[in-house]
């Protein structure tokens, strides 16, 4: 029978049990409770996979925080500063690397390819030594074995590991390959010794543009790994086509190759001719990145082609990539309309789909029937109410180039705004959200459960807004925010008020560590029936003379952080969003709001993996942002915010957004991003984050002055804003208060020296 498997499963749990366990451990330090929960989750997920029909389960795909960090720890690629803690208390050391503690700042964190998952960036240096500790993969493999399961350890491959790392001394991480390989060889030997049959080596970097050095590194690495004792090796590529790396990947001495046939179905012919017949082809035919049921006709066509070319003997069926990026089980979504639910497949359903495809391929009539039912349901989807709306389509078609324009140039607007807003030099602000307190969460839950009415809920929010406004006034911030207490999530909040969106109750996906997001589902054409943020912002502004910044999530980010319909091109969905948000911007402006921030933290992560596709994406993404901000008056100051520090490759697009002020994450990388601004004279103002909100650590005033001084070596004083890295909703007041007080003091001290 055709083999069925998967590259990885969501870790967080059906009801986010891992999140709860982590957060409890961070409070009470009870390690055994955390480890028990982790073990129970792994076992439950393997059982589920087996019941869904998987013949092999993945192990070591689980992580307490992040699998890249696990890989660094497994090979002892640990920066000196964490070593003694890691020795004394391995869990405390591990979490110090992941999220910092009172004395140590965390390792950098960055987006995992074009997903909304964040990985911890290993920090390496020339002369780095590596040493294997294979306990984790071995223990998890034994755990699965004890349950009678056929298990395949998943490990990040050596070349992707190095390519995804950074070095502190500017050396090329790939130079460390020779030092690293013996540890991988040893890993394979230990796994083989234990009796492991197959290992999955993830090399997602194979779908990127690779230079000659990286290609040679692949050859050297995999030839070395082929020499010692080893389980059979499955080389896994995902998130796109192998493209010009196909010949490289197909010729590496491994026993199987996984290819993504969802993102890149067009690569199938080339894969079939490049891959030797005795190798296993693991065909990623079900989308691991989305929540839609697959189209049986498309998948069956691919599978028949494969079967005709090479039979099914060496064929594995799998989702396109790890299911880490999909929610758990759509059966939990009892409050979704039944019609919509039939269009959806979460992790569990994706595995069940795979089984059906395998059975159908093996000639099972029942499975063929089930698949044709699925085709019929998906055909009905096209005609369902709200999927295609004439008014929305007409408005998009009628868009003129004018819609992307502000009234005057940035330079002129800057003068007008300086007069209207009269801010001091180095103005201080925050990114929008303030701590989501227990009171707020409780009130929201009560309101959802209809245990308190709308008025009672609203008065809790108003009180919170007032408290946040008074706090900001007291500590001397210049541009205030209302604190976003009404928002559960920066995308969900907007999606809930727009037509064309649906919401799950339990559709959580891990973003980083214990943090999850619950992406809305864009299933139909998008429009805004009424204003979404105006009353809260207007209320906040009524409490103070200082400018209150209106807060919106930008169209690209709403798109990027939603599960997007698969029946309309992304740029078209984004244009619909841009028009809906544009109406909101204009309503805020009419309500007297002078500063409006349109967050686009996901602009960069939407960047296609291959450089050849960048320009087309940036073109429509920038256009959508500009449509959102377009048409506002010169006195209205448009801010945008982005949470990443890799700027060089998109700086021109960021400038093309034509925002008056951008705030960006930069404290973890100690303002490295500002290098981008050395060569490129950015015309607007910039607030490079001066402290890391992902860590509970309270930064000192001197430390922030130091960062600001670094920033001033590249930026004009008139250009520099002072703000944290990101919103404060995940922080407590305990650390937020002293951190912001110190931040304002840092700005004030520096101001005095200008």
The residues that touch Zn ion, with contacts defined as CB under 5 A, are 601, 643, 726
How does 236-255 read in b/e, with b if 16+ C-beta sit within 10 Å? bbbbbbbbebbebbbebebb
Tokens at 469, concatenated: 């406004």
Q: Which has the closest alpha carbon to 560: 634, 644, 436?
A: 644
Q: Does 167 bind ligand GLN (CB under 6 A)?
A: no
The angle at the Cα of 85, spanning 84 to 91, to the nearest 5 degrees, equals: 140
CB-closest chain residue to ligand GLN: 727
| CA 690 to mean position of chain CA atoms | 22
C-beta closer to Zn ion: residue 292 or 494: 494
Contact (Cβ atoms closer than 8 angstroms) between residue 565 and residue 526: no
C-beta closer to Zn ion: residue 490 or 521: 490
Block residue for tokens 């957060």: 23
Query: Contacts with ligand GLN: how many residues (CB under 6 A)?
Result: 13
* Least separation in angstroms between CB 132 and Zn ion: 37
Q: 144 to 163, contacts with ligand GLN by CB under 6 A? A: none
Contact (Cβ atoms closer than 8 angstroms) between residue 594 and residue 642: no
Return the range that interacts with ligand GLN (CB under 6 A); candidates 82-90, 216-224, 320-328, 726-734: 726-734
Which listed residue (114, 203, 525, 599) binds ligand GLN by CB under 6 A? 599
Close Cβ partners of 142 (under 8 Å, ≥ 6 residues apart):
194
CB-based contacts of 492-495 (< 8 A; 24+ apart in sequence): 492/518, 492/519, 492/520, 493/532, 493/553, 494/532, 494/552, 494/553, 494/558, 494/581, 495/520, 495/522, 495/558, 495/562
C-alpha dist (Å) from residue 741 to 80, 479, 719, 724, 752 = 31, 14, 22, 12, 17
Q: 428 to 457, contacts with ligand GLN by CB under 6 A? A: 431-433
C-beta closer to Zn ion: residue 374 or 723: 723
14, HSE (Cβ side, Cα atoms, 13 Å):
14
Q: What stretches of 476-564 show up as alpha helix (H) in DSSP?
A: 492-495, 534-542, 555-560
C-beta closer to ligand GLN: residue 152 or 604: 604
Catalytic annotation present for 442: no
What spatial distance separates the first Cα and last Cα of the chain, rounded to whole Å? 74
State the binding site.
16-19, 111, 431-433, 484, 515-516, 561, 599, 605, 641, 643, 665, 726
Which option in Zn ion, ligand GLN, none does residue 315 bind, with CB closer than 5 to 8 A by kind?
A: none
Return the range that interacts with ligand GLN (CB under 6 A); candidates 48-56, 112-120, 459-467, 724-732: 724-732
Rg (CA), the chain: 26
105, HSE (Cβ side, Cα atoms, 13 Å):
15
Q: 701 to 720, contacts with ligand GLN by CB under 6 A? A: none
Q: Does 726 bind ligand GLN (CB under 6 A)?
A: yes
| CA 689 to mean position of chain CA atoms | 19
* Least separation in angstroms between CB 732 and ligand GLN: 15
* Least separation in angstroms between CB 641 and Zn ion: 5
Pairing of strands 315-319, 3-4: parallel
Annotated catalytic residue: which of 45, 105, 118, 694?
694
Close Cβ partners of 305 (under 8 Å, ≥ 6 residues apart):
268, 269, 272
Tokens at 95, concatenated: 């979490």
State the binding site for Zn(2+).
641, 643, 665, 726
What single DSSP character describes residue 636?
A: S
Q: Does 551 bind ligand GLN (CB under 6 A)?
A: yes
Q: 612 to 631, contacts with ligand GLN by CB under 6 A? A: none
Q: 459 to 498, contacts with ligand GLN by CB under 6 A? A: 484, 490
* Least separation in angstroms between CB 468 and ligand GLN: 12
Which option in Zn ion, ligand GLN, none does residue 50 bind, with CB closer than 5 to 8 A by kind?
A: none
3 state SS for 412-429? HHHHHHHHHHCCCCCCEE
Return the range that interacts with ligand GLN (CB under 6 A); candidates 240-248, 341-349, 706-714, 725-733: 725-733
C-beta closer to ligand GLN: residue 570 or 729: 729
Which option in Zn ion, ligand GLN, none does residue 490 bind, with CB closer than 5 to 8 A by kind?
A: ligand GLN
Which listed residue (601, 630, 687, 689) binds ligand GLN by CB under 6 A? 601
* Least separation in angstroms between CB 563 and Zn ion: 21
Tokens at 163, concatenated: 């390519």
C-alpha–C-alpha distance, residues 475 and 470, integer Å = 9
Which listed residue (67, 263, 538, 641) binds ligand GLN by CB under 6 A? 641
C-beta closer to ligand GLN: residue 644 or 682: 644
* Least separation in angstroms between CB 429 and ligand GLN: 11
Q: Does 729 bind ligand GLN (CB under 6 A)?
A: yes
* Least separation in angstroms between CB 736 and ligand GLN: 12
C-beta closer to Zn ion: residue 323 or 551: 551
Which listed residue (643, 650, 707, 750) binds ligand GLN by CB under 6 A? 643
What single DSSP character describes residue 722?
A: B
* Least separation in angstroms between CB 643 and ligand GLN: 5
Which option in Zn ion, ligand GLN, none does residue 433 bind, with CB closer than 5 to 8 A by kind?
A: ligand GLN
Pairing of strands 151-156, 198-202: parallel
Contact (Cβ atoms closer than 8 angstroms) between residue 550 and residue 537: yes
Which option in ligand GLN, Zn ion, none does residue 8 bind, with CB closer than 5 to 8 A by kind?
A: none
* Least separation in angstroms between CB 283 and ligand GLN: 36
Which option in Zn ion, ligand GLN, none does residue 500 bind, with CB closer than 5 to 8 A by kind?
A: none
Residues marked active site are found at: 694
Which chain residues interact with ligand GLN by CB under 6 A?
431-433, 484, 490, 551, 599, 601, 641, 643, 726-727, 729
């Amino acid at each position: 029978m055709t083999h069925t498997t998967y590259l990885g499963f969501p870790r967080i749990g059906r009801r986010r049990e891992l999140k709860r366990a982590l957060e409890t451990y961070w409070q009470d330090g009870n390690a055994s409770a955390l480890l028990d929960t982790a073990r129970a989750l792994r076992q439950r997920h393997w059982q589920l996979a087996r019941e869904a029909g998987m013949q092999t389960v993945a192990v070591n795909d689980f992580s307490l925080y992040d699998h890249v960090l696990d890989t660094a720890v497994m090979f002892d690629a640990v920066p000196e500063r964490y070593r003694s803690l890691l020795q004394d208390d391995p869990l405390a050391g591990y979490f110090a690397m992941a999220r910092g503690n009172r004395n140590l700042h965390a390792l950098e964190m960055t987006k995992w390819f074009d997903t909304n998952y964040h990985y911890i960036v290993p920090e390496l240096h020339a002369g780095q030594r590596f040493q294997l500790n294979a306990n984790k993969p071995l223990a998890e493999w034994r755990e699965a074995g004890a349950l009678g399961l056929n298990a395949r350890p998943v490990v990040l491959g050596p070349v992707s590991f190095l390519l995804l790392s950074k070095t502190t001394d500017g050396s090329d991480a790939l130079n460390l390959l020779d030092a690293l390989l013996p540890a991988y060889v040893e890993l394979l030997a230990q796994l083989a010794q234990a009796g492991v049959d197959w290992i999955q080596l993830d090399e997602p970097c194979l779908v990127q543009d690779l230079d000659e050095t990286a290609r040679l590194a692949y050859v050297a690495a995999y030839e070395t790994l082929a020499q010692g004792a080893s389980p059979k090796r499955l080389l896994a590529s995902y998130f796109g086509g192998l493209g010009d790396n196909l010949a490289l990947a197909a010729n590496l001495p491994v026993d199987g190759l996984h290819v993504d046939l969802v993102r890149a179905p067009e690569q199938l012919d080339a894969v079939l001719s490049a891959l030797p017949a005795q190798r296993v082809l693991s065909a990623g035919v079900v989308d691991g990145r989305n929540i839609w049921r697959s189209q049986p006709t498309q998948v069956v066509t691919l599978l028949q082609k494969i079967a005709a070319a090479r039979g099914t003997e060496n064929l594995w069926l799998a989702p396109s990539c790890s299911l880490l990026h999909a929610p758990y089980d759509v059966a939990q979504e009892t409050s979704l309309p039944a019609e919509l639910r039939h269009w959806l497949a979460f992790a569990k359903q994706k595995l069940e789909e795979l089984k059906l495809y395998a059975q159908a391929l093996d000639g099972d009539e029942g499975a063929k029937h089930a698949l044709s039912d699925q085709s019929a349901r998906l055909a009905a989807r096209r005609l369902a109410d709200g999927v295609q709306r004439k008014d929305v389509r007409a408005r998009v078609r009628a868009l003129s180039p004018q819609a992307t324009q502000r009234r005057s140039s940035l330079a002129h607007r800057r003068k007008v705004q300086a007069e209207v807003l009269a801010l001091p030099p180095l103005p201080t602000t925050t990114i929008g959200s303030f701590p989501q307190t227990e009171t707020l969460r409780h009130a929201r839950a009560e309101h959802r459960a209809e245990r308190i009415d709308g008025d009672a809920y609203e008065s809790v929010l108003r009180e919170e807004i007032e408290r946040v406004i008074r706090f900001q006034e007291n500590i001397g911030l210049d541009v205030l925010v209302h604190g976003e207490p009404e928002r559960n999530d920066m995308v969900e909040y907007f999606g809930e008020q727009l037509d064309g969106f649906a919401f799950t109750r339990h559709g959580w996906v891990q973003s980083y560590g214990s943090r999850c997001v619950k992406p809305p589902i864009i299933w139909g054409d998008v429009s805004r029936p009424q204003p979404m943020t105006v009353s809260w912002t207007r209320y906040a502004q009524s409490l103070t003379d200082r400018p209150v910044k209106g807060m919106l999530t930008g169209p690209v980010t709403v798109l990027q952080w939603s599960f997007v319909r698969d029946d309309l091109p992304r740029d078209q969905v984004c244009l619909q969003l841009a028009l809906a948000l544009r109406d909101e911007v204009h309503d805020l402006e009419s309500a007297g709001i002078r500063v409006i921030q349109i967050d686009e933290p996901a602009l960069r992560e939407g960047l296609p993996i291959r450089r050849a596709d960048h320009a087309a994406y940036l073109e429509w993404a920038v256009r959508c942002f500009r449509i959102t901000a377009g048409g506002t008056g010169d006195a209205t100051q448009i801010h945008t915010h982005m949470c990443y520090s890799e700027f060089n490759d998109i700086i021109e697009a960021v400038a093309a957004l034509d925002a008056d002020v951008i705030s960006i994450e930069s404290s973890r990388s100690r303002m490295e991003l500002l290098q981008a601004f050395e060569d490129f004279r950015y015309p607007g103002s910039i607030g490079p984050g001066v402290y890391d909100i992902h860590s509970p650590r309270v930064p000192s005033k001197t430390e922030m002055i130091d960062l600001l001084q670094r920033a001033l070596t590249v930026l004009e004083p008139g250009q520099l804003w002072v703000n944290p890295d990101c919103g404060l909703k995940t922080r407590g007041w305990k650390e937020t208060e002293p951190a912001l007080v110190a931040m304002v003091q840092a700005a004030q001290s520096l101001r005095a020296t200008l």
